[in-house]
């Protein structure tokens, strides 16, 4: 089958379109014909090993010490089940699904196998494969941080820093779903986009520094790594939570050891890949409460261009890769 593989870390040109053996599902796995995948910041980091300060060694342990352990990137994808293992009961041949293997990757290929108990769910009936391929990485991360880590409540005042990116565009919509009042921070050119997905107010970070506001937010979610707990704490209300989705190790350590007053908290960590979260997101899509923002779409043979675009750090929402336009 056709797949994009990489054998060394580096610039987008390490990604090569190749022929590899089509996988066979184990007893508990399904085989998916992939129609669309995406280029997430997770793929970009695993390709380049350009990681936040302090995470270099951990990155090599996760992705492969001297060379990539998993040669096919693609943290999320959408497609149709074409074969099932003997013990599979949750899915059947013909089901349209979206999957979020995360750091197990596998989306940059015509076919992938995944365990039926992993992060996989039926596609929302209203979504195309391209839309479904952009639901998981941002959606599951935003859901985990806002709902599970921060316990978002209706009426909360929430600020999303990096509101125009993959995680940010999902976080704005999911925070609105939970009944929050949402402020989005982005550059001037993305203000209309952030308003269009539901933000109640938008702040252009080149013109205004929100961190001077006092007691303004119950939750501040940062996807950019430009904030620290210390710089954000004044803007938090009593009991407020600072969510460090992105940041380097010194930022994380300084957050953990910072003196916290008024019940404020700093929360970092990893958002795990779970089927329950994908199902929840699919329901939001069906209810018209969530829609993935798609910036650009490239065919699989232009994967290097797609990665080069994501490398700019300026993508809006999701960059989708069409693996097969057959349907
Ligand atoms: N902890 C976890 O489990 C987890 C899970 C997923 C992702 N992440 C991390 O989260 C980060 C964000 O991922 P992503 O996919 O959302 O990235 P992305 O799509 O590249 O978005 C980043 C956004 O940051 C904005 N930005 C850049 N500088 C800014 C500033 N000074 N102030 C405000 N916004 C700024 C950019 O918007 P403008 O063009 O408008 O500036 C861009 O849209 C990545 O580092 C990723 O590795 C962590």
| Ligand 1 centroid to residue 168 C-alpha, Å | 7
Report whether residue 318 contacts ligand 1, using a CB cutoff of 6 Å.
Answer: no
- Arithmetic mean of pLDDT over the chain: 97
Domain-embedded: residue 288: no
Which string of DSSP letters, residue by residue, matches 198-257? T-SEEEETTT--GGGS-S-EEEEEESSS---HHHHHTTEEEEEEEEESS--HHHHHHHHH
CATH number, domain at 261?
3.40.50.720
The angle, 0 to 180 degrees and rounded to 10, between the axes of the packed helices 41-48 and 303-311 is 100
Read off the pLDDT of each residue in 99-111 and give the average, rounded to a whole number.
Answer: 98
Which string of DSSP letters, residue by residue, matches 260-324? --TT-EEE-------HHHHHHHHHHHHTTS----EEEEEEGGGHHHHHHHHHTT---SEEEEES-
Helix (H, G, I), strand (E, B) or coil at 118: coil
In Å, how far from its chain's centre is CA 129?
17
Atom nearest to 225 CA in ligand 1: 45
Residue owning tokens 């252009």: 204
Domain-embedded: residue 210: yes
**How many folded domains does the chain comprise?**
2
Domain-embedded: residue 273: no
Report whether residue 271 contacts ligand 1, using a CB cutoff of 6 Å.
Answer: yes
| pLDDT at residue 288 tops 80 | yes
Report whether residue 272 contacts ligand 1, using a CB cutoff of 6 Å.
Answer: no
Domain-embedded: residue 259: yes
| Ligand 1 centroid to residue 3 C-alpha, Å | 27
Q: Do residues 5 and 18 touch, judged by C-beta distance below 8 A?
A: yes
Same domain, 240 and 190: yes
Task: Choose among 239, 232, 246, 227: nearest CA to 265.
Answer: 239
Atom nearest to 168 CA in ligand 1: 16
| Ligand 1 centroid to residue 204 C-alpha, Å | 15
Pairing of β 111-115 and β 16-19: unpaired
Query: What is the rounded CA–CA span in Å between residue 315 and residue 278?
Result: 23
Report whether residue 231 contacts ligand 1, using a CB cutoff of 6 Å.
Answer: no
Of the three residues 224, 251, 267, the one that is the final residue of a domain is: 267
Same domain, 159 and 94: no
Query: What is the rounded CA–CA span in Å between residue 38 and residue 255?
Result: 32
Q: What is the pLDDT of residues 220-241, one digit of tens each?
A: 999 999 999 999 999 999 999 9
Domain-embedded: residue 225: yes
Residue owning tokens 């949402």: 182
Domain-embedded: residue 274: no
> Which pLDDT value is given to residue 327?
57
Same domain, 310 and 211: no
Report whether residue 171 contacts ligand 1, using a CB cutoff of 6 Å.
Answer: no
Same domain, 84 and 163: no
Report whether residue 148 contacts ligand 1, using a CB cutoff of 6 Å.
Answer: no
Same domain, 111 and 158: no
Same domain, 6 and 87: yes
Report whether residue 246 contacts ligand 1, using a CB cutoff of 6 Å.
Answer: yes
Domain-embedded: residue 284: no
Query: What is the rounded CA–CA span in Å between residue 139 and residue 135?
Result: 6
Confidence of residue 159 (pLDDT cuts 50, 70, 90): very high
Phi, psi of 24 (to 5 degrees): -115, 135
CATH number, domain at 63?
3.90.180.10
Q: What is the pLDDT of residues 32-87, one digit of tens each?
A: 999 999 999 999 999 999 999 999 999 999 999 999 999 999 999 999 999 999 99
Atom nearest to 161 CA in ligand 1: 33
Domain-embedded: residue 156: yes
Same domain, 120 and 151: no
| Ligand 1 centroid to residue 317 C-alpha, Å | 9
Domain that holds residue 201: 137-267
Q: Do residues 277 and 285 touch, judged by C-beta distance below 8 A?
A: no
Read off the pLDDT of each residue in 127-142 and give the average, rounded to a whole number.
Answer: 98
Same domain, 124 and 24: yes
Same domain, 113 and 233: no
Is this structure's pTM higher than 0.85?
yes
Same domain, 155 and 119: no
Q: Which of 203, 208, 223 to mutate to test the pocket of ligand 1 (most atoms within 8 A of CB)?
A: 223
Same domain, 229 and 127: no
Same domain, 52 and 104: yes
Higher pLDDT, 146 or 212: 146
In Å, how far from its chain's centre is CA 283?
18
């Amino acid at each position: 089958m056709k797949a994009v593989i990489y054998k060394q870390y580096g610039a987008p040109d390490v990604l090569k379109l190749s022929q590899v053996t089509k996988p066979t599902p184990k007893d508990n796995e399904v085989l998916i014909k992939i129609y669309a995948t995406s280029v997430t910041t997770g793929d970009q980091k695993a390709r380049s090993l350009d990681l936040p300060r302090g995470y270099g060694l951990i990155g090599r342990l996760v992705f492969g010490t001297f060379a990539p352990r998993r040669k096919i990137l693609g943290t999320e994808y959408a497609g149709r089940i074409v074969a099932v293992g003997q013990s599979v009961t949750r899915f059947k041949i013909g089901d349209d699904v979206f999957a979020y293997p995360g750091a197990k990757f596998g989306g940059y290929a015509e076919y992938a196998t995944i365990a039926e108990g992993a992060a996989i769910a039926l596609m929302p009936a209203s979504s195309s494969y391209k839309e479904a391929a952009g639901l998981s990485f941002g959606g599951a991360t935003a859901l985990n941080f806002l709902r599970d880590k921060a316990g978002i409540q209706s009426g909360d005042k929430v600020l999303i820093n990096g509101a125009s990116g993959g995680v940010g565009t999902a976080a704005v919509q999911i925070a609105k779903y939970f009944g929050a009042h949402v402020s989005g921070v982005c550059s001037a050119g993305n203000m209309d986009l952030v308003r269009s997905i539901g933000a109640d107010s938008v702040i252009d970070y080149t013109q205004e520094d929100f961190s001077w506001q006092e007691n303004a937010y119950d939750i501040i979610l940062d996807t950019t790594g430009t904030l620290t707990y210390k710089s954000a704490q004044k803007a938090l209300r009593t009991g407020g939570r600072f969510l460090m989705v992105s940041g380097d190790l010194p930022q994380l350590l300084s957050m953990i050891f910072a003196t916290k007053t008024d019940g404020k908290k700093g929360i970092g960590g990893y958002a795990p890949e779970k089927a329950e979260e994908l199902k929840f997101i699919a329901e939001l899509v069906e209810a018209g409460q969530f829609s993935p923002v798609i910036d650009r779409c490239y065919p699989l043979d232009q994967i290097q261009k797609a990665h080069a675009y994501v490398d700019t750090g300026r993508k809006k929402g999701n960059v989708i890769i069409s693996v097969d336009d057959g349907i």
